Amino acid sequence: MSVLEGIPIDLSIVLGSTSIPIRQVLNMSRGAMIPLDCGHNDPTRVYVNDELVAEGKILVNGEHMSLEITKVVQRGES
């Protein structure tokens, strides 16, 4: 086992984002829709420890979702 295999990282996969008032969040019920700042063809972003490292697209196969990496972001490119 490599010494690197035991190091924890924070991995985030971001579909999109939005800014909404807290009162809107408090009034939400099941099935509420939250509009995001992206379209379905826009890339999904992958962050490691809050740094953008890749982009990809979401794939859905029945009950399972996965991310296909389409671009690895070079340091300083974001």
pLDDT value, residue 39: 87
Starting at the edge strand that comes first in sequence, how are the strands of the sheet with 51-61 ordered? Answer: 11-14, 44-48, 51-61, 64-72
pLDDT tens for each residue of the chain, 78 residues long: 688 888 999 999 999 999 999 999 999 999 999 999 998 889 999 999 999 999 999 999 999 999 999 999 998 776
Structure tokens given for 62: 């029945």
pLDDT value of position 22: 95
